[in-house]
Amino acid sequence: MTVVGPFGLSVRDQALEADVQAGLAAVEEGLLEATKSEVPFITGAAQHLVRAGGKRFRPLLVMLAAQFGDPYAPGVVPSAVVVELTHLATLYHDDVMDEAAVRRGVDSANTRWGNSVAVLTGDFLFARASQILADLGPEAVRVQALAFERLVTGQILETAGPTDGRDPVEHYLDVLGGKTGSLVAVSCRFGAMMSGADETVVDVLTQYGERLGVAFQLADDYLDIASDSHESGKTPGTDLREGIATLPVLRLRERAARLGLPEDIALCELLDSDLSDDARHAEALAALRAHPALEQARRDTVRYAEEARAALAPLRECDAKAALIELCDAVVHRTG
């Protein structure tokens, strides 16, 4: 049993391990090639986050999904490059929107070069992804276009907030389905589709990816509150400080509205105050860590992971399916 990819995923079959490792190595080469420009400055900016590393979660899913067809089919690696380029492009844009200073342990592109360069670099990555897609055929272009529409819609809905009368938790989960679930679902879809897997298998893996993607983001929400910086390598409570209401906060507000407990209402007021002050931020973080809302958010995360696992039931038993099942647990229980 060998550990490969993100989250310490264990692979029991040597042939599967070799396929996944070779595929991820080829994706890495493809990312570097796709981010080259005749203009050295553009190359440096475009490769900034590629060279900073990352989990390569989406390419891993492409490689595992491809095991249900021909994993050596010519479109598998390019499609994995497409989804990772798209993901990276959204990170450039997200950092501008969030005014983030750091990404993957290095200065964000907007910190280093300014907002305009960061946005345009993201656009450059989208353009390169589109070039690769054009060679994969019209169906691949259509699938990616629909997913990208959902991704952008999720981003817009997050910015706009829930409409009057809409349950904020339901709204947030819809946002995550668009922002994160759509591209993770496409990763699984591309892997199966490009490998020539049966359409029923493609559909099953797409549904799996959708749910796993939401679980992945919900786990991030939970970790932002529950983990310490030593475990995760990230500064805890970043979303709190920035006033971003992720699921633990939404579950708290839901409980406060339902039960009207003074301590819940007081915590909501604290979270809605200015948390740029370190002492106030530490107080809010400690209180939310001890609150039942955090455990509720963890249960929500587990529920989506279990739905992802259940979606795989129709697939034949094999090492790739076992690895996908293991990812459900690994996503939920990771520390960073």
Average pLDDT over residues 297-301: 96
Residue 101 DSSP class: S
pLDDT band at 243 (very low <50, low <70, confident <90, very high): confident
- Residue 87: strand pairing partners: none
Predicted local confidence at residue 167, as pLDDT: 95
In sequence order, the 6+-apart residues with CB closer than 8 A to the CB of 126 are 85, 86, 89
Predicted local confidence at residue 1, as pLDDT: 40
Which helix (H) or strand (E) segment is 251 a member of? helix 247-259
Question: How much of the chain exceeds pLDDT 70, in percent?
Answer: 90
Predicted local confidence at residue 264, as pLDDT: 96
Burial class (CB in 10 A: 0-12, 13-18, 19+), 316: exposed
Could you tell me the residue ranges of all domains in the chain?
Answer: 2-333
Phi, psi dihedral angles at 4 (to 5 degrees): -135, 160
Q: Report which residue type is found at 5.
A: G
Q: Which has more confidence, 2 or 273?
A: 273
pLDDT band at 104 (very low <50, low <70, confident <90, very high): low
Among candidate residues 139, 98, 138, 148, the one with its CA nearest the CA of residue 119: 98
Average pLDDT over residues 278-296: 95
Diameter of the chain measured on Cα atoms: 62
pLDDT over threshold 50, residue 230: no
pLDDT band at 99 (very low <50, low <70, confident <90, very high): low
Which helix (H) or strand (E) segment is 91 a member of? helix 76-98
Average pLDDT over residues 253-266: 96
Q: Look at 91-100, 201-210, 218-227, 302-311 and tell me which has the smallest mean pLDDT.
A: 91-100
Query: Do residues 248 and 293 make contact, with C-beta atoms less than 8 angstroms apart?
Result: yes
Place of tokens 């699921």: 247
- The structure's pTM equals 0.91
Distance of CA 217 to the CA centre of its chain: 6
Distance CA 303, CA 109 (A): 35
Per residue in 165-220, pLDDT (tens digit) is 899 999 999 999 999 999 999 999 999 999 999 999 999 999 999 999 999 999 99
Q: Which has more confidence, 9 or 328?
A: 328
Round the average pLDDT of the chain to a whole number and report it: 89
Burial class (CB in 10 A: 0-12, 13-18, 19+), 131: exposed
Cα pseudo-dihedral 251, 254, 258, 264, rounded to 10:
70
Predicted local confidence at residue 333, as pLDDT: 85
Per residue in 129-177, pLDDT (tens digit) is 999 999 999 999 999 999 999 999 999 999 899 998 899 999 999 999 9
Query: Do residues 132 and 82 make contact, with C-beta atoms less than 8 angstroms apart?
Result: yes
Length, in residues, of the chain: 336
Predicted local confidence at residue 94, as pLDDT: 74
Distance CA 63, CA 66 (A): 5
Where does 2-333 sit in CATH, by number? 1.10.600.10
- Residue 4: strand pairing partners: 9
Question: How much of the chain exceeds pLDDT 90, in percent?
Answer: 70
Distance CA 314, CA 83 (A): 25
pLDDT over threshold 70, residue 113: no
Average pLDDT over residues 288-307: 96
pLDDT band at 101 (very low <50, low <70, confident <90, very high): low
pLDDT over threshold 70, residue 297: yes
Phi, psi dihedral angles at 215 (to 5 degrees): -60, -40
Instruction: Specify the 3-state DSSP secondary structure of 56.
Output: coil
Distance CA 19, CA 55 (A): 17
Per residue in 15-72, pLDDT (tens digit) is 888 899 999 999 999 999 999 999 999 898 888 888 887 889 999 999 999 999 999 9
Distance CA 125, CA 123 (A): 5
pLDDT band at 235 (very low <50, low <70, confident <90, very high): confident
Query: Do residues 332 and 301 make contact, with C-beta atoms less than 8 angstroms apart?
Result: yes
Among candidate residues 266, 324, 277, 243, the one with its CA nearest the CA of residue 60: 324
